């Protein structure tokens, strides 16, 4: 069964362990600027929101690529950039409506979350389970439940 990253922002403390683990795995350095997952900060609300590619089924990046440099990993379902084929035209970076595929000005190719081949480091590094790697259906079910609950009258009301 395909699995996906489930992110629960309300559990995030903003520690950036996920960014450190990601950049180390993907680039061999501890440098949050090179991470595929990003923790966005909301000072006014006192909240943190980790966000990365959801491996969306529309695959905007993949369909926009002119040279077939983005392919689906059949095992994980991740959309992966093949560095050797990417020419660095950046069309995918403007086509992805979530802003989760970016251009690396040093390597001159684009990069995105590839689920670490099926064992995502961010989820393993997260100390509060704000990021977990779960069965895709499970995540969907939880989201459906949460959404349905919003539309129900409050208990006792």
One residue of 30, 31, 54, 97 binding other proteins per CB under 8 A: 97
66 counts as binding other proteins under rule CB under 8 A:
yes
140 counts as binding other proteins under rule CB under 8 A:
no
**DSSP string computed for 68-119:** S-EEE-TTT--EEE-TTT-----HHHHH-TT---EEETTTTEEE---GGGTS
99 counts as binding other proteins under rule CB under 8 A:
yes
Min CB(141)–other proteins separation in Å = 16
One residue of 13, 31, 42, 75 binding other proteins per CB under 8 A: 42
Torsion of CA 35, 124, 119, 102, to 10 degrees: -10
One residue of 24, 59, 90, 136 binding other proteins per CB under 8 A: 90
Q: How many residues does the chain have?
A: 157
């Amino acid at each position: 069964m395909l699995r996906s990253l489930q992110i629960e922002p309300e559990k995030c403390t903003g520690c950036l362990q996920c960014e450190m683990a990601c950049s180390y795995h993907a680039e061999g350095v501890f440098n949050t600027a090179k991470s595929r997952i990003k923790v966005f900060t909301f000072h006014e609300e006192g909240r943190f929101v980790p966000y990365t590619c959801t491996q969306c089924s529309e695959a905007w990046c993949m369909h926009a690529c002119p040279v077939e440099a983005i392919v689906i990993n059949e095992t994980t379902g991740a959309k992966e950039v093949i560095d050797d084929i990417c020419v660095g035209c950046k069309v995918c970076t403007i086509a992805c409506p979530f802003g989760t595929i970016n251009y690396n000005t040093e390597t001159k190719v684009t990069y995105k979350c590839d689920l670490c081949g099926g064992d995502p480091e961010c989820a393993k590094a997260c100390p509060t389970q704000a990021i977990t790697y779960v069965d895709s259906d499970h995540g969907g079910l939880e989201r459906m439940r949460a959404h349905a609950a919003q539309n129900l009258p409050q208990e006792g009301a």
